[in-house]
């Protein structure tokens, strides 16, 4: 006879086998779920990259474009792509989703440089030569007047630079600068002309951040002069003013835009932003603007007070990005860009009017201008460049620019990653 205890042993063995089988089933289910989640993640990532490439390859330059796309027919995965004009650049927003799973990325993008249009210097032809004096260096291809380039003796100094005068190929310039992008200028004109609604008071907070996935956070101070201080503003934020905005050194900007009649940046400011004014921008000494920043003075209609549009950068400041002036009215008094002593600009300067470079000022990149000024205590010299440097070779080969300026290809590249999950 079988002992009664054997039944207990059989039950225990069956229980153990049952537990092992259950564990194997649970483990198989868990690993299958993990495998599916990982495969879904890689699929979403691949779809996200496809969406990014769709935006980069697209040519739609409208201010806001949003599209929902099915990448593969008969499948559940889809993407949405959105393009926003953000100052002189564009913002791309891409989302990839499969059922409840979503990945997104926001980024800024800009245009690759066209080497056939790029130049260290473009000076329009006004039937007079271009003069160099002191320790001046120009390196890179240039477009200068047919009258050519010559040395000059100014302020008891003769020319002390390279004997070639220009270290690069010389081409003849035209009587006008290559035109800027009218579509982009039209966006600025429309933005400055419309009465934008927004909060009239800036929240008293240490930091304000707004995602590009949300609606733009707009502050419009209207006719009240405003000083921005002791705060950090980051992301999808735009400041407007009908008068003057002063940016204190205690303020920190990252990727925001500012529009005003006049903008003053106090000494010691550090940040990354785009500042646009209709009358003037004054950057004081020892400021540092990181890439990609932009300073632009644009005049589309007659001002209340008839004054010269002016953009000045104080001594010992550093700027990385694009600086430009534009006057739609094309008045006899041209806009002025004044680059102070020991200022270093890495990027581009496009001066619709006059450029004044002072002692030891340097542009690593490209400078397009209608005319140069050099001013000492007693005399104003036109088309003289003294103790300054323009060096196209010193600019990073990875530099990309806005389609506003006439030296870019249609092909776009990633400028800066902003947000991701």
* d(C-alpha 117, C-alpha 46), whole Å: 35
Asked whether the predicted pLDDT for residue 258 surpasses 60, the reply is yes
pLDDT-derived band at 76 (thresholds 50, 70, 90) equals low
What percent of the chain stands above pLDDT 90?
65
Handedness of CA 81, 82, 83, 86 (dihedral sign): negative
Asked whether the predicted pLDDT for residue 64 surpasses 60, the reply is no
Residue 63 has what pLDDT?
Answer: 42
pLDDT digits (tens, 9 = 90+) for 77-99: 678 889 999 999 999 999 888 77
Question: 36-50, 107-121, 220-234, 307-321: which has the minimum mean pLDDT?
Answer: 36-50
pLDDT-derived band at 181 (thresholds 50, 70, 90) equals very high
Residue 2 has what pLDDT?
Answer: 56
- Mean pLDDT, rounded, for 95-107: 85
Residue 37 has what pLDDT?
Answer: 64
Distance of CA 330 to the CA centre of its chain: 26
What percent of the chain stands above pLDDT 70?
92
Helices within 219-369 (DSSP H only): none
Q: Which of the two residues, 322 and 46, has the higher pLDDT score?
A: 322
Sequence-distant (≥ 6) Cβ neighbours of residue 235 within 8 angstroms: 209, 210, 211, 212, 254, 255, 256, 418
Asked whether the predicted pLDDT for residue 283 surpasses 50, the reply is yes
- Mean pLDDT, rounded, for 176-200: 87
Question: 67-81, 118-132, 382-396: which has the minimum mean pLDDT?
Answer: 67-81
- Mean pLDDT, rounded, for 21-28: 80
pLDDT digits (tens, 9 = 90+) for 36-45: 667 777 888 8
pLDDT digits (tens, 9 = 90+) for 390-421: 999 999 999 999 999 999 998 899 999 999 88
Residue 59 has what pLDDT?
Answer: 60
Whether 331 contacts 310, CB under 8 Å: no
Asked whether the predicted pLDDT for residue 61 surpasses 70, the reply is no
Residue 219 has what pLDDT?
Answer: 92
Asked whether the predicted pLDDT for residue 193 surpasses 70, the reply is yes
pLDDT digits (tens, 9 = 90+) for 355-378: 999 999 999 999 999 999 998 878
Quick one: which of 327, 299, 304 has its CA closest to 243?
304
pLDDT digits (tens, 9 = 90+) for 42-59: 888 888 888 888 888 876
Whether 118 contacts 135, CB under 8 Å: no
Residue 201 has what pLDDT?
Answer: 81
pLDDT digits (tens, 9 = 90+) for 261-276: 999 999 999 999 999 9
> What is the per-residue DSSP string for 14-49?
HHHHHHHHHHHHHHHHHHHHHHHHHHHHHHHHHHHH
Most confident of the ranges 114-123, 196-205, 295-304: 114-123
Asked whether the predicted pLDDT for residue 389 surpasses 70, the reply is yes
- Mean pLDDT, rounded, for 207-215: 93
* d(C-alpha 229, C-alpha 210), whole Å: 18
Phi then psi for 406, rounded to 5 degrees? Answer: -90, 40
- Mean pLDDT, rounded, for 217-231: 92
Q: List strand residue ranges (DSSP E) for 243-343, in order.
A: 244-247, 252-265, 270-283, 288-299, 310-313, 318-327, 336-339
Most confident of the ranges 116-120, 155-159, 188-192: 116-120
Verify cis geometry, omega within 30 degrees of 0, for the bond prior to 292: yes
- Provide the mean pLDDT of the chain: 88
DSSP state, 154? B
Facing residues of 246 across strands?
Answer: 227, 264
Rounded to two decimals, the pTM is 0.88
Residue 421 has what pLDDT?
Answer: 82
* d(C-alpha 291, C-alpha 12), whole Å: 71
């Amino acid at each position: 006879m079988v002992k009664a205890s054997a039944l207990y042993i059989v039950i225990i063995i069956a229980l153990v086998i049952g537990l092992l089988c259950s564990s194997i089933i649970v483990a198989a289910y868990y690993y299958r779920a993990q495998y599916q989640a990982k495969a879904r993640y890689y699929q979403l990532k691949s779809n996200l990259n496809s969406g990014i490439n769709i935006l980069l390859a697209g040519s739609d330059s409208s201010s806001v474009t949003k599209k929902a796309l099915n990448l593969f027919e008969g499948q559940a995965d889809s993407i949405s792509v959105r393009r926003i004009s953000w100052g002189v650049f564009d913002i791309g927003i891409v989302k990839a989703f499969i059922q409840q799973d979503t990945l997104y990325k926001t980024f800024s993008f800009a245009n690759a440089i066209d080497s056939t249009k790029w130049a260290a210097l473009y000076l329009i032809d006004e039937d007079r030569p271009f003069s160099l004096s002191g320790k001046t260096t120009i390196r890179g291809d240039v477009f200068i007047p047919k009258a050519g380039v010559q040395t000059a003796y100014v302020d008891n100094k003769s020319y002390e630079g390279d004997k070639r005068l220009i270290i690069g190929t010389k081409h003849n310039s035209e009587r006008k600068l290559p035109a800027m992008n009218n579509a982009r200028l039209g966006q600025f004109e429309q933005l400055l002309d419309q009465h934008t609604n927004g909060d009239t008071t800036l929240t008293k907070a240490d930091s304000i951040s707004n995602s590009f996935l949300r609606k733009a956070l707009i502050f419009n101070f209207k006719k009240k002069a405003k000083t921005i201080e002791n705060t950090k503003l980051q992301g999808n934020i735009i400041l407007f003013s009908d008068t003057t905005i002063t940016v204190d050194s205690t303020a920190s900007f990252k990727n925001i835009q500012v529009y005003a009649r006049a903008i003053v940046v106090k000494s010691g400011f550090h940040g990354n932003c785009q500042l646009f004014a209709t009358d003037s921008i004054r950057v004081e000494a020892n400021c540092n603007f990181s890439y990609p920043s932009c300073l632009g003075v644009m005049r589309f209609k007659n001002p209340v007070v008839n004054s010269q549009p002016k953009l000045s950068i104080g001594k010992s400041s550093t700027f990385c990005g694009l600086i430009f002036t534009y006057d739609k009215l094309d008045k006899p008094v041209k806009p002025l860009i004044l680059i102070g002593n020991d200022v270093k600009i890495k990027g581009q300067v496009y001066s619709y009017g006059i450029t004044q470079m002072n002692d030891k000022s340097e542009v690593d990149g490209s400078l397009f201008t209608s005319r140069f000024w050099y001013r000492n205590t007693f005399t104003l010299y036109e088309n003289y460049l003294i103790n300054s440097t323009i060096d196209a070779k010193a600019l990073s080969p990875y530099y990309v620019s806005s389609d506003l300026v006439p030296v870019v290809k249609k092909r776009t590249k990633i400028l800066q990653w902003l947000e991701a999950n």
